[in-house]
């Protein structure tokens, strides 16, 4: 059976108090039987990485931690940036190339390739977001999330059949080993994506902010 990867992208949400409440309310018993077949990754804002890492380690929760972005520069005089080398103290995964980064922060192919290189130098697993089968994918990327812009935060997911055909095309034509789907994933529709042959997991935004919905997504995937 294929191992699935289920990623929560909290985006710019959650205070430390809200994150603790999320963790306390998360119905861990509901996902206990799924943790050997599903890798669960939580990507909080930078401000919560330290706290989340501490909590997950202390309580032995079956979660990996990821960052939502990584600096295109190494550590040094880059005010406001967080280098991969600093992130690796807290995370094992990094999302790179999310469409919101491309749109609001004008991130281009060269910048994304620099981010990927630095993340790999720090041994982080990159989850590289693409908006379609033709988005260019930097060298060395093994995990891609197909996230069509029309489906993000709209409640209008892509069809599982179309997502599967994009995932198949990426798997057949690149060195990528794993394609996830993201865009309006909920507990109701998750299995329609994860049952597809070339879709190996999901990237969840809005529905991951609610601990019971996210647990249900893990259970239903
Ligand atoms: P959504 O976001 O689940 O709210 O559509 C997904 C994403 O942007 O990663």
For the chain, list the domains and their CATH numbers: 4-220 (3.20.20.70)
Instruction: Supply the residue whose CA is at minimum distance from atom 6 of ligand 1.
Output: 205
**Separation of alpha carbons 121 and 181, rounded Å:** 26
What lies within 8 Å, CB to CB, of 22 at 6+ separation is 14, 209, 211
Mean of per-residue pLDDT scores for the chain: 97
| 147 given a catalytic annotation | yes
Q: Which residues line ligand 1 (CB under 6 A)?
A: 9, 147, 152-153, 182-185, 203-207
Please say if the pLDDT value at position 42 is more than 90. Answer: yes
pLDDT of residue 202: 98
pLDDT per residue as tens digits for the range 161-198: 999 999 999 999 999 999 999 999 999 999 999 999 99
What's the pLDDT score for residue 2?
84
* In contact, 95 and 129? CB cutoff 8 Å: yes
For residue 136, the model assigns a pLDDT of 95
What is the arithmetic mean of pLDDT over 105-118? 97
Q: Which tokens hold the place of 90? A: 């807290």
pLDDT of amino acid 210: 98
Between CA 6 and CA 14 the distance in angstroms is: 19
Dist. CA 204–CA 200, nearest whole Å: 13
Catalytic residue among 39, 107, 147, 164: 147
The pTM assigned to this predicted structure is: 0.97
Q: How far is the CA of 206 from the centre of ligand 1 (A)?
A: 6
By the 8 A CB rule, do 167 and 193 touch? no
> Under 8 Å CB-to-CB from 32, ≥6 apart: which residues?
none
Roughly what angle, to the nearest 10 degrees, separates helices 49-58 and 16-25? 30
Each residue's pLDDT tens digit, 53-81: 999 999 999 999 999 999 999 999 999 99
Instruction: Assess whether 34 carries a catalytic annotation.
Output: no
């Amino acid at each position: 059976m294929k191992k699935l990867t289920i990623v929560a992208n909290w985006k710019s949400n959650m205070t430390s108090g809200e994150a603790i409440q999320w963790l306390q309310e998360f119905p861990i018993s509901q996902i206990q039987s799924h943790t050997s077949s599903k890798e669960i990754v939580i990507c909080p804002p930078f401000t919560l990485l330290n706290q989340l890492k501490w909590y997950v380690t202390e309580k032995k929760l079956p979660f990996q931690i990821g960052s939502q972005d990584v600096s295109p520069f190494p550590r040094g005089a880059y005010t406001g940036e967080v280098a991969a080398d600093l992130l690796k103290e807290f995370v094992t995964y990094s999302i790179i190339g999310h469409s919101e980064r491309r749109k609001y922060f004008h991130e281009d192919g060269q910048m994304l390739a620099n981010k990927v290189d630095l993340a790999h130098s720090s041994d982080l697993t990159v989850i590289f977001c693409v908006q379609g089968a033709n988005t260019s994918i930097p060298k060395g990327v093994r995990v891609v999330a197909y996230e069509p812009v029309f489906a993000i935060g709209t409640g209008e997911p892509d069809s599982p059949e179309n997502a599967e055909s994009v995932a198949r095309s990426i798997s057949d034509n690149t060195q990528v080993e794993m394609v996830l789907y993201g865009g309006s994933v909920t507990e109701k529709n998750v299995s329609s994506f994860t049952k597809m042959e070339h879709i190996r997991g999901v990237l969840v935004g809005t529905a991951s902010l609610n601990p019971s919905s996210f647990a249900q997504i893990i259970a239903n995937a």
